[in-house]
Amino acid sequence: MEMSYKPGTSQRVRLPIEDELRRDIVCPHCGIDHSVYGLATWCAGCGKDIFLYHVETEQNVIKVMLNDLDRRYEVLGPRVVAKDLENCLEDAVSIFEAALKAMVIRYYGGQGKSKEEIEEILKKKIGNCFQAIARTQDFFREVLTIDLSDGVEAKVIDTLSTTFEMRHPITHNLGVVDRKYIERVQSSEQEGKEIRVTKENIEVAIRNSLEVIKFLHKKLFGEGA
């Protein structure tokens, strides 16, 4: 009897995907650090509302990316930086959408609605409407009787709306201005030209979207939430 052994190729061990999705945050009230997935509402230590703090923490990741643009321009060139800015805009819209959906879920849960009823509202009444400011206004005014203009200046809403609408040609048309975009923003931009997103666009969008989120948070959950 003969026996032989041929060693195989060792497999590279991948880090668990949970490590990539995990958010590590420190409670601004009690100082405890903990890890969460998604957007945290309550501190696991003191039980206080940390939702807005967590939203800002997520937005700070975009700010870090923006602050690295000069280096990336030197190393990788203008085209990569242009894509970085587009990605930052998409991230800003995604954070805004996720924050509003989380608040709506929390609100309806507090009203005693079941998980199934809330999912039905998300599906039939919300969908992707929080990706556009005009549709966001319509939902909160018509469904929850909250008017954004009661607490947010018209200039802030208009500027945020215009910036968020840039996402449409970026996501659906490789950044090229199309007729749908021109009609939405009442823009004089030429159809077929590539849209230009600036660092200032993103910084203002982050600031303005946080103002809207804070206003809605206060209206839905009260002053001390």
Beta bridge partners of 42: 49
Contact 51, 102 (CB under 8 A): yes
pLDDT single digits (tens) 152-165: 999 999 999 999 98
Q: Residue 51 domain-assigned? A: no
Q: What is the pLDDT of residue 218?
A: 96
Q: Residue 84 domain-assigned? A: yes
Q: Residue 57 domain-assigned? A: no
pTM recorded for the entire structure: 0.82
Give ∠ CA 171-176-178 in degrees, rounded to 5: 95
Burial of 123 (0-12, 13-18, 19+ CB in 10 A): exposed
Q: Residue 83 domain-assigned? A: yes
Residue 166: partners with Cβ closer than 8 Å, 6 or more residues away: 89, 181, 195, 197, 201
DSSP 3-state assignment of 194? Answer: strand
Residue 152: partners with Cβ closer than 8 Å, 6 or more residues away: 211, 212, 215
What is the mean predicted confidence (pLDDT) over 65-94? 95
pLDDT single digits (tens) 90-149: 999 999 999 999 999 999 999 999 999 999 999 999 999 999 999 999 999 999 999 999
Domain count for the chain: 1
Quote the tokens at residue 179: 């007729």
Q: Residue 11 domain-assigned? A: no
- Full domain range(s) for residue 83: 67-221
Q: Cα–Cα distance between 23 and 58 in angstroms, integer?
A: 9
Q: Cα–Cα distance between 138 and 152 in angstroms, integer?
A: 15
Q: Residue 180 domain-assigned? A: yes
Q: What is the pLDDT of residue 17?
A: 46
Contact 102, 89 (CB under 8 A): no
Q: Residue 41 domain-assigned? A: no
Q: Cα–Cα distance between 68 and 142 in angstroms, integer?
A: 41
